[in-house]
Chain A
Amino acid sequence: MLDRDLARRRFLVVIRKTAAVWAGKATGTLSRITGRGGGTTLPGDVARAIDPKILTRLAQDLTYGSVVITGTNGKTTTARLLSWLLEGAGHRVVSNRAGANLIFGATAAALNRAGTDGRLKADWGVFEIDEASLPKAAAEIQPRATLVLNLFRDQLDRYGELESIAKKIEQALSAQPETARAILNADDPRVAEIGLNLSHKPLWYGLDDTSVASKTLPHAADARTCPRCGSSLIFDAVYVGHDGVYRCPKGDFARPQPEITATDIMLDGFESIALSIDGTRIEMPLGGLYNCYNVLAAYAVARSIDLAPSYIAERLRTFKAAFGRQERIEFRGRHLVLVLSKNPAGFNETVRTAVELANGKHFVIGLNDRKADGTDVSWIWDVDFEQLRDHASLVIPAGVRAHDLAVRLKYAGVAAEAPQTDPGKALDLLIKSTSEGDTAYLLCTYTAMLDLRAELVRRGWASPYWET
């Protein structure tokens, strides 16, 4: 009797899982056909409604397990780097690629790769997960490794304050079994604070090259004080935002010594970076110091699962950036570089890279305030747009909140064009005001990027993002 009950229950679980997979997959197909975007999260909603445990069940089908990636900036690029490394080594990888990094996106991605028998046919899961969703996602996915990249202020309207996000991440990592590895950025004081509180020692990584560091914190720096005593931290090097080499003057808190470090860093605009990790020289077609962090993080995970350094270096040479993260598009003889920039720390770095390293002259700055961008745009006042003054010859404020940007640029002393809330008109103005052969940088928040890109797609200059 009991055995029959158990068998029946198991049967029902399989049926439910299969039904959830089928319903989810059908939803995905439908939303692609009807042109409602790439079907990146809706299938996840549908499947989770039928079987709330669907993500756990699918994750258990993976041959080797999952890596979960969280943090404010760099999730998509780092996930893509890691998938690239795993795929090159012959693994089948499932990942939530189109920037749909909530738990529904992860579920949808897993569904997409499940077979008609309801089983997920892949070796590895690489999931980028929003900081706020981490506890739930990690509990469901039960990852082998969790990577925490950084913690900057971002979308305060949605996530609440940095402090509560840090607590959530700590809670998620503490709940994991001893076999799961936490891989953390030692250069970020908030991330370090989390890691130092854990009972299992994390794997720390960090940059180690003061030639690319500055001495002073930017306006956008958040973690300025010691988590133990509240004193102002001393920064001996600042790399990106508040990420750097720091210590408390009272001696009760300091950057943990990283096991995996990047040295001899060379930066060449948005074109390329070169860095040495553990004596392995890596050169690759991605730009900006912030991408050194992403590469280092992906390397740390790859090493923790025993991919060979020489293989990693060779494979990364041919990496291609994800949608909107330094995408290059030819547009009527102009070279467009699309760079997603969504918060002060990220924006400062992309502006710095465009101005200082790439000698950029032509810019479209896109600001939207939809849910995915964050509905509060006050953060633009923490971005150092002053960097554009005396360098840029054309700056077009674009997006839903183009008028706010125009005011920001005015007070930064930057002579900008009239604000363009219509993406088509922004592109028209760009073409009119630049010459063939010019390079223009489109620095945009998430949905502002989607809008501009959709316009490029409509005009036939780019392919829809879910096909890239």
Chain B
Amino acid sequence: MGLAILGNMKFTVGWLYPDLMNIYGDRGNILTLLRRAEWHGFEASVVELGRGAATQMDEVDVFFFGGGQDREQALIYDDLRQFKQASLQQAVESGAQVLAVCGGYQLLGHYYQTADGERYDGIGLIDVRTEAGKKRFIGDVVVLSAIDGLTPSTLVGFENHSGRTFLGPNARPLGKVLKGHGNNGSDHQEGCVQGGVIGTYMHGSLLPKNPHLADHLIAGALRRRGGGALSHLDDSAELAAHGWVLQRAQRR
């Protein structure tokens, strides 16, 4: 499988805080990146980036940053700034990709403001800000993707958040909300894309049901190494699950 020329190339996933930020089946995103990279002919591995000084961050092709519970999220605020921020910024500048979901999405932005007006600073890697909302948005999400050439053009997932995220001028939305609430429930936008960073509220897990987005991340990261097009995989199972969510969204 895969192109012979890529046979011995490595592909590395960096999982930020795997023990603390993994509430919504985030392991599904990691498994999808790893398996698909293998099926495309790469030697895939995962680097766990827990609390404390991180090594190997410069080897990472795709970073994943998931959501956590409030208590766990509070435990990583300082660590993120102290040990990860600089090398994460560097990696992104050199072409690494980042997928951040829910809590991770919020933490990569400028800040998260609680209902009492208290602000928790993020690392400002993406031009978004988040404020606490009253009602929790829970349910299926279908998005018409704004990423060029993504086939199918839809993304499907499940959202569960009370944060309202707003995009600044440097961030573009990941897509237009066809079903669900998205970033804030008011501007019909979901997620953000800024350079190689994708932030989103969609879990479910996201990548298993959106194999085209997984490949987009893998291909994007490999571009800096001069990697060509990825091989074609049989995604019938993944797209059946994707299509099932689309069908249900149409029925309701």
Chain A contacts to B: CB under 8 angstroms: 153, 156-157, 160-163, 219, 224-225, 230, 232, 375-382, 401, 403-404, 406-408, 410-412, 419
7 residue pairs of the A-B complex, CB under 8 angstroms, read A161-B69, A225-B75, A232-B51, A378-B28, A382-B22, A407-B238, A412-B31
Enumerate B1-58 residues with CB–CB distance to A below 8 Å: 19-20, 22-28, 31-32, 35, 51
Known contacts A156-B160, A404-B241, A411-B32, A382 near B208 by CB under 8 Å: no
Residue in contact with A153 in the complex, picked from B23, B139, B205, B209, CB distance below 8 Å: B23
Contacts of B139 in A (CB 8 A): 375
Instruction: State whether B69 touches A380 (Cβ < 8 A).
Output: no
Known contacts A403-B244, A404-B241, A407-B237, A381 near B160 by CB under 8 Å: no
Residue of B nearest to A162 (CB): B69
Instruction: State whether A378 touches B158 (Cβ < 8 A).
Output: yes
Instruction: State whether B158 touches A376 (Cβ < 8 A).
Output: yes
Contacts of A382 in B (CB 8 A): 22, 25, 27
Instruction: State whether B35 touches A411 (Cβ < 8 A).
Output: yes
Residue of B nearest to A419 (CB): B240
Instruction: State whether B160 touches A225 (Cβ < 8 A).
Output: no
Instruction: State whether A377 touches B204 (Cβ < 8 A).
Output: yes
How far is A381 from B26 in the complex, measured between Cα atoms in Å?
7
Instruction: State whether B70 touches A161 (Cβ < 8 A).
Output: yes
How far is A84 from B71 in the complex, measured between Cα atoms in Å?
40
Which 8 A-B pairs rank lowest in CB-CB distance, beginning with the nearest?
A: A378-B25, A381-B28, A381-B25, A403-B241, A161-B69, A378-B24, A230-B75, A403-B244
**Min CB gap B115→A, angstroms:** 14
Q: How large is the interface on B (under 10, 10 to 19, 20 to 34, 35 or more residues)?
A: 20 to 34
Instruction: State whether B237 touches A406 (Cβ < 8 A).
Output: yes
Residue in contact with B240 in the complex, picked from A156, A162, A377, A406, CB distance below 8 Å: A406
How far is A230 from B208 in the complex, measured between Cα atoms in Å?
32
Contacts of B136 in A (CB 8 A): 160
Instruction: State whether B69 touches A407 (Cβ < 8 A).
Output: no
Known contacts A157-B160, A378-B25, A378-B204, A407 near B241 by CB under 8 Å: yes
Chain B contacts to A: CB under 8 angstroms: 19-20, 22-28, 31-32, 35, 51, 69-72, 75, 136, 138-139, 158, 160, 203-205, 208-209, 237-238, 240-241, 244
Residue in contact with B25 in the complex, picked from A157, A230, A379, A419, CB distance below 8 Å: A379
Instruction: State whether A163 touches B70 (Cβ < 8 A).
Output: yes
Given A161-B23, A376-B160, 5 more pairs with CB closer than 8 A: A161-B70, A163-B69, A407-B208, A407-B237, A411-B31
Most chain A CB neighbours (cut-off 10 Å) among B35, B205, B209, B244: B205
How far is A379 from B26 in the complex, measured between Cα atoms in Å?
9
Residue in contact with A225 in the complex, picked from B32, B72, B238, B240, CB distance below 8 Å: B72
Instruction: State whether B240 touches A403 (Cβ < 8 A).
Output: yes
Contacts of A157 in B (CB 8 A): 138, 160
Residue of B nearest to A413 (CB): B35
Most chain B CB neighbours (cut-off 10 Å) among A156, A232, A376, A378: A378
Contacts of B160 in A (CB 8 A): 156-157, 376
Instruction: State whether B237 touches A410 (Cβ < 8 A).
Output: yes
How far is A410 from B235 in the complex, measured between Cα atoms in Å?
11
**Min CB gap A315→B, angstroms:** 40
**Min CB gap A142→B, angstroms:** 31
How far is A381 from B204 in the complex, measured between Cα atoms in Å?
9
Residue of B nearest to A344 (CB): B25
**Min CB gap A175→B, angstroms:** 23
Residue in contact with B208 in the complex, picked from A379, A401, A411, CB distance below 8 Å: A411
How far is A408 from B207 in the complex, measured between Cα atoms in Å?
11
**Min CB gap B20→A, angstroms:** 7
Instruction: State whether B241 touches A381 (Cβ < 8 A).
Output: no
**Min CB gap B46→A, angstroms:** 13
Contacts of B158 in A (CB 8 A): 375-378
Residue of A nearest to B158 (CB): A376
Contacts of A406 in B (CB 8 A): 237, 240-241
Contacts of B203 in A (CB 8 A): 376, 378
Residue of B nearest to A156 (CB): B160
Contacts of A161 in B (CB 8 A): 23, 69-70
Known contacts A376-B158, A378-B158, A379-B25, A224 near B209 by CB under 8 Å: no
How far is A407 from B36 in the complex, measured between Cα atoms in Å?
12
Instruction: State whether B23 touches A156 (Cβ < 8 A).
Output: yes
Contacts of A230 in B (CB 8 A): 75
Instruction: State whether A381 touches B19 (Cβ < 8 A).
Output: no
How far is A129 from B24 in the complex, measured between Cα atoms in Å?
25
Known contacts A163-B70, A381-B205, A404-B209, A232 near B19 by CB under 8 Å: yes
Contacts of B51 in A (CB 8 A): 232
How far is A408 from B71 in the complex, measured between Cα atoms in Å?
29
Instruction: State whether B205 touches A378 (Cβ < 8 A).
Output: yes
Instruction: State whether A376 touches B24 (Cβ < 8 A).
Output: yes
How far is A382 from B66 in the complex, measured between Cα atoms in Å?
13
Known contacts A163-B69, A163-B70, A403-B237, A381 near B23 by CB under 8 Å: no
How far is A219 from B25 in the complex, measured between Cα atoms in Å?
10
Residue of A nearest to B72 (CB): A225
Residue of B nearest to A160 (CB): B136
Instruction: State whether B69 touches A381 (Cβ < 8 A).
Output: no
